[in-house]
Structure 1
Amino acid sequence: MDRVAKLATQRAVVIFSKSSCCMCHAVKRLFYELGVSPAIYEVDEDPRGKEVEWALARLGCNPSVPAVFIGGKFVGSANTVMTYHLNGSLKKMLREAGALWL
């Protein structure tokens, strides 16, 4: 759990992902298209990835990836992020975290 908390605060936007997950790809692509350069942690490429997935599940991520943190705070998974994007609040969150300038 401490490792996830530490990693989640290293950049304005942090995404825990799996390289083979289509929803993870969609979320990463959304941030790139918004002009945000998130830190991406591919849990399936990390030797301690199962520990990270377990910690994410304890935070309420179901499924465990994608898990998005903005400004060090857990935002949610793909459905939540897409909802915020569609209702316009995602850009506001990104601006407040210093990840987006416009």
Structure 2
Amino acid sequence: MGLVSSKKREVMTALKDTVNQMISSESVVIFSKTYCPYCKMAKEVFDKMQKKYKAIELDEMDDGDKIQDILGEMTGARSVPRVFVNGKCLGGGTDVKKLYECGDLAKKFES
């Protein structure tokens, strides 16, 4: 039994490293599901801003549920979307829309 849990822990650690690489690969990364209206809302915000983003569609991935578990551990919420700007989680679709509407989202891109 110890061998199985050890192997599972190794797989999850490797997957967590992959998630961190995904987050750092682009300035905007959206962990999403293709059918989710809140995911669509978040993408529309960045489309309006003409900001390029990388959408990672968890429902199209074999390990999407595991990635969602890892995002839950990292961000405190397992729901999608999980939106990252410059490596920091901004929350979900409603959070991003509120930041956009009050002008704070644009400030996240200023250096």
User: Normalising TM by the smaller chain, what interval?
Assistant: 0.7 to 0.9
Question: 2:28, 2:86 within 8 Å by CA — same for their partners in 1?
Answer: yes
Aligned-residue offset at 1:81: 1.0
Aligned-residue offset at 1:62: 4.3
Which protein is bigger by CA-based radius of gyration? 2
Aligned-residue offset at 1:3: 2.1
Residue 34 of structure 2 aligns with which residue? Answer: 19
Q: Map of 1:14-93 to 2, 5 A cutoff? A: 14-58=29-73, 59-63=75-79, 65-93=80-108
Residue 100 of structure 1 aligns with which residue? Answer: none
Q: Say which structure is richer in helix.
A: 2
Structure 1 gap segments, 5+ residues each: 97-102
Query: Larger RCO: Structure 1 or Structure 2 (Cα < 8 Å, ≥ 6 residues apart)?
Result: 1
Misfit runs of 4+, over 3 Å = none
SS of the residue aligned with 2:25?
A: coil
Alignment RMSD (CA, Å):
1.2
Q: How many residues align?
A: 95
Residue 95 of structure 1 aligns with which residue? Answer: 110
TM-score (norm 2): 0.79
SS of the residue aligned with 2:89?
A: strand
SS of the residue aligned with 1:47?
A: coil
Distance 2:77 2:17 in 1: 16
What whole-Å deviation, never above 9, does each CA across 1:8-59 have from its counterpart, x for those lacking one? 0100100000001011011101101110110110000011101111011112
